[in-house]
């Protein structure tokens, strides 16, 4: 019933179905293909349609490793026009943990781009928020992220700095007097 509701003409019905599936979590793994399809589905209304997409991505994250088939779609969503969708996709990838290793390079690129000071360039690059990308990298657990996380741990944005520091700790990185 909930999976069928994702296809409803009303984006509001699909939104509620996606939220309910997310609350169910890994036990709703049969809904993964339908949740993936929501990302490419047409909307009846831009606001509720975007909310439905973000709810579907959030639901995939709540399913954790049971949603690992969604990693390619979530990587594409990191480049979405809407910042909320980019951030929700980065959060979802983090919730998939090591099963989202294929997203590490895209998240590193997103974190690097989020630290760009030039506003025009930042708008063109459309990265996820730096702190969200840093958190996801820490949860995925790839040591490949250490260099960019070190850089982010010294950036101007306090949220990104804190998230990068936490991610480094999660990765087992120990600061030495040389690395400070």
**93-126 pLDDT per residue, tens:** 999 999 999 999 999 999 998 887 666 777 777 7
Q: Are residues 52 and 106 in the same domain?
A: no
152 in Cβ contact with 164 (< 8 Å)? yes
Confidence of residue 176 (pLDDT cuts 50, 70, 90): low
Determine contact, residues 126/81, Cβ cutoff 8 Å: yes
Establish if 67 belongs to a structural domain: no
Q: For the segment 44-61, what is each residue's pLDDT rounded down to a tens digit?
A: 677 888 999 999 999 999
Query: Burial, 179: exposed, middle or buried (Cβ in 10 Å; 0-12, 13-18, 19+)?
Result: exposed
Is 68 inside any structural domain?
no
pLDDT reported for residue 133? 94
pTM of the model: 0.89
Residues 89 and 3 in one domain: no
Q: Per residue in 23-39, pLDDT tens?
A: 999 999 999 999 999 99
- Residues ≥6 apart with Cβ < 8 Å to 81: 126
- Smallest Cα–Cα separation from 137: which of 179, 74, 90, 87? 90
Tell me the residue ranges of DSSP E strands in 14-105. none
| Residue 72 is assigned to a structural domain of this protein | no
Per the CB < 8 A criterion, the answer to whether 109 and 154 are in contact is no
If asked whether residues 57 and 84 sit together in one domain, one would say no
54: containing domain: 1-62
The count of domains in the chain is 2
């Amino acid at each position: 019933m909930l999976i069928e509701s994702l296809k409803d003409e009303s984006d509001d019905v699909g939104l509620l179905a996606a939220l309910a599936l997310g609350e169910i979590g890994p036990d709703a793994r049969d809904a993964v293909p339908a949740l993936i399809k929501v990302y490419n589905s047409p909307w009846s209304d831009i606001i509720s349609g975007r909310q439905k997409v973000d709810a579907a991505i959030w639901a995939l994250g709540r399913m954790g490793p049971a949603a690992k088939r969604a990693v390619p779609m979530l990587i594409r969503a990191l480049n979405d026009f809407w910042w909320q969708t980019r951030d929700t996709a980065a959060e979802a990838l983090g919730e998939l943990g090591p099963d989202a290793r294929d997203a590490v390079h895209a998240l590193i690129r997103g974190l690097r781009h989020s630290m760009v000071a030039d506003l025009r360039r930042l708008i063109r690059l459309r990265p996820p928020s730096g702190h969200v990308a840093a958190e996801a990298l820490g949860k995925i657990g790839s040591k490949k992220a250490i260099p960019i996380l070190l850089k982010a741990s010294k950036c101007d944005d306090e949220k990104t700095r804190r998230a990068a520091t936490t991610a480094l700790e999660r990765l087992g990185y120990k600061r030495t007097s040389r690395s400070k």
